[in-house]
Structure 1
């Protein structure tokens, strides 16, 4: 039964990863298009920043509601804020590059 729980949790993580990434990417793409920035040029930067945010959300909240919660621990607040700061910095990089360059 434990292996089935781990498999279900893996599938759940993949589904959450896909949907949360799509949900977070759409507003950023529309914001950048409104400003006049081409999102194709910065696709990898935005995707990496969004994946960092999704990782923090999963690690601090969603892992405690899944099929396999044994050994689940929250990240320390300093690490959480560091990762979120890096992701917001990565999100702002295309805007900075567009207005400087």
Structure 2
């Protein structure tokens, strides 16, 4: 069961990363920012967002749900705030 859950997590990770990266990449190119220079920041931000989505929603629908707990609201908002800042930093650097 744990192996199935691990495969499910990897599939969700790749799926969500592809879904979220494409619009962000297009937005950066529309503004004129090359994403190659800020790939690490964007990747880290997306991983944080995907972690919050998985921890608060998808971990309860998998094969292995023992001991599953939602993240507290303060932690959720802190992680999402950090992710938002990581996504905004390339825009701020580009215009300064």
TM-score bracket relative to the smaller structure: over 0.9
- Indicate the residue corresponding to 1:40 in structure 2: 36
- Aligned partner of 2:15 among 6, 19, 42: 19
Cα distance between partner residues in 2 of 1:57 and 1:79: 13
TM-score normalised by structure 2 residue count: 0.99
Q: CA RMSD in A?
A: 0.4
- Aligned partner of 1:57 among 27, 49, 53: 53
TM-score normalised by structure 1 residue count: 0.94
Count matched residues.
96
String of CA shifts for 1:22-55, please: whole Å, max 9, x gaps.
1100000000000000010000100000000000
- Aligned partner of 1:83 among 46, 66, 79: 79
Structure 2 residues without counterparts, runs of 5 or longer: none
- Indicate the residue corresponding to 1:9 in structure 2: 5
Q: Which has the larger radius of gyration?
A: 1
Structure 1 residues without counterparts, runs of 5 or longer: none
- Aligned partner of 1:28 among 24, 30, 36: 24
